[in-house]
Structure 1
Amino acid sequence: MIEREAAVRAVEEQLERDYQQWRAVSADAVRTVVLHVEEHELVWIVWWQSEEFARTGECMLLGTGPYLVDRVDGGLHEIGIVSAKTGAWEDDYRARIRGLPVRTAVDDLHDALCAVAATRGRMHAVRTLRQRLPVFSPAEAIEYVSALLEGDAPASLVAIVTKELVEPVNPALAANTVLSGAAIRAGQRPER
C-alpha cells in the first residue's frame, strides 16, 4: 500500500519535472506545490496550485485537475477538473487502469432479459431484446437470449449490444497515466 507521504512525494517530483520542462522554454514558468490530499478507496487525490496562490490565496488560474496516485502500485495519473469534480474518472479508472469489473448498461440489459425469461419465458425475453435493440434480427435475438440463459451471450453479439448501449469514455473525463506503477518499480521516470 502506498502511504499518503509517498503519494505527496511522487506528485512533488512530477511538479518539479513539469517546472523544469516549462523553465526550459519560458522564463515565466510558475512553481507549483501540493495544496491538499484526499483519500479515496483506489487512489490518493493530490491537488496542486501555484506557490503564489498557496501563499496569498489570490486566485490564479493555473493547472488542471489533480493527480491520482494509485494506492496499490503507486502509479501516477492525472484527471481534468470536470472529471475530478463530477467523479466521472472513477469507472474509467476501475475498468481501464485497475482492470476491475464495472457495471454497464449491458449488465442491466442481461439482468432484465433473465428476469423476463424467468417470469414470462424465453420468447418474451427475445421480444424485449428486439424492442430495446431493433438492430438484431429475430434469429440473432433468439441466439443471444438462448446463449445468455445458458451462460454467456456470444461475444460478437455482445459487442453489438455494447456499441449500442454503452457510451464510450469521453477522453476529457478519462484518467491519463503519467507514470505506471510498473515503471516506478523499474526506476523509470517520465520524459514529459
Structure 2
Amino acid sequence: MDQETITIRLTRDQAFVLSDWLYQVMFQSDDLEGIVHDRAVWSPIYAISGTLDKTLSEIFMPGYDPRLEAAKERLCDCSGRGPKSGCAMVNDEGQVTKERAVQLVEGLLSSEQQESPWLPEAAVCDVREHALGWLVTWQSVEYIRSRDLEKMLVGHGPYLVDRQDGSIHHIPVTTYRGVDWEQLYLQQVRGARPPGPLIAAVRAFVQSDGTIAAMRHLRKQAPLLTPQQAKAYVMALREGAEPPEELATSLTRKREICPPLPIETLSAPAQ
C-alpha cells in the first residue's frame, strides 16, 4: 500500500473558509454521511480538518465571524464571482467599518509574507476603534497559537486604518506610547497645520496689555524673530487672523532634542 504523503497548498483565506465549512458539516450539522456517502473519503476529510485545526490561528482569534466573511469575500473577488454582501465595506456615513479594516490589514500582512517568506507569519490579534479610524494590533501566528513568549514579536506599534479612506499607517511603538501621536498623524498624513506654541499666550497679551506688550513677550519667548516678524505675528492676532505659518511654527517652536519617530504610510487609500 502506497503511504507516500502529498502536500496541498492553500492560501490562509482558503484554509480558513474550508476549516469553517468542515466544522459546520462534521460537528454542527452532523451530516457528513449525508453529504459524503463514500466512507473511504472520510479519512482524508478528517486528516485535512485536523491539520487545519492545528495550523490555523484564525479559529482561536477574536472577531471570528467578520474575519470569516472578509476571507469569503476576498475569495469571491479572486474567483470572479463578485463580492458577497455579508461584510459591509463602509458604514452609512461612508466610513471604513471594523470588518473592512481587518480585511485590509490581513491583506497587507499576507502580501508582506509573500514578498518576504523568511519573515514570521503574522495575523491580526486585536482591533480597537479610535476617532481617526481603527487601531489594529498584529502578532506572530506562532505566538497567537501557543502564547509562548519566545514566539512574540516585539518592537512594533499598531497599524491605524484611516476611517475616511482605508489607508494603513504604522505608528512606531515609541511614538504611540510617548507623544501625542494623534496630532502627529494629523500633521504628517492629513496635512493639518500644527498649533503654534505661543499663539494663545500672545493673543491674551494683545487683549489685556496691548500690541507693544504682546510684541515684547513674543520676542522674549522667541528671540529669533526680528522686530518686523514679531509685529506681523502680533498684528495678525490682533485682527483675528492666524499668524503666518513660518512664524507660528518654525521660529517659535523649541527644537526637540529627541523628536518622535515618524508615522509610516504602508498603503494608499483603499479602492
TM-score by length of structure 1 reads 0.78
Structure of higher RCO (CA pairs closer than 8 Å, 6+ residues apart): 1
1:163-188 per-residue CA deviation (whole Å, 9 max, x = no partner) reads 2333579462x22111121xx22xxx
**Greater Cα offset, 62-71 or 83-92:** 83-92
Partner of 2:116: 22
Superposition map of 1:142-161 within 5 A:
142-152=231-241, 155=244, 158-161=245-248
Q: Specify the code of the residue in structure 1 equivalent to 2:268.
A: S
The structural deviation recorded for 1:76 is: 1.1
Q: Specify the code of the residue in structure 2 equivalent to 1:41.
A: A
The structural deviation recorded for 1:51 is: 0.7
| Equivalent-residue separation in structure 2 for 1:153 and 1:78 (angstroms) | 32
Partner of 2:146: 56
Stretches of structure 2 lacking an aligned partner (at least 5 in a row): 1-94
The structural deviation recorded for 1:89 is: 2.4
- 1:118 counterpart = 2:207: yes
Q: 1:30 to 1:141 in 2, by over 3 A?
A: closer
Q: Specify the code of the residue in structure 1 equivalent to 2:231.
A: I
Whether the 8 Å contact between 1:45 and 1:66 is mirrored in structure 2 is yes
| Equivalent-residue separation in structure 1 for 2:190 and 2:100 (angstroms) | 20
| Equivalent-residue separation in structure 2 for 1:141 and 1:93 (angstroms) | 29
- 1:67 counterpart = 2:154: no
Partner of 2:218: 129
User: Aligned residues: percent identity?
Assistant: 33
1:165 match: secondary structure = coil
1:17-70 per-residue CA deviation (whole Å, 9 max, x = no partner) reads 1111111xx4xx321111111110111111111111001111134261121111
Whether the 8 Å contact between 1:145 and 1:153 is mirrored in structure 2 is no
1:178 match: secondary structure = strand
1:115-154 per-residue CA deviation (whole Å, 9 max, x = no partner) reads 1122111111111111111222334323432233124466
1:76 to 159, 164, 168: 168
| Equivalent-residue separation in structure 2 for 1:21 and 1:171 (angstroms) | 29
Q: 1:140 to 1:31 in 2, by over 3 A?
A: closer
The structural deviation recorded for 1:8 is: 0.6
Q: Specify the code of the residue in structure 2 equivalent to 1:178.
A: L
Partner of 1:178: 266
**Greater Cα offset, 65-74 or 144-153:** 144-153
1:2 match: secondary structure = coil
The two structures, once aligned, show a CA RMSD in angstroms of 2.4
2:104 match: secondary structure = helix
| Equivalent-residue separation in structure 1 for 2:227 and 2:215 (angstroms) | 8
Q: 1:111 to 1:87 in 2, by over 3 A?
A: closer
2:251 match: secondary structure = helix
TM-score by length of structure 2 reads 0.57
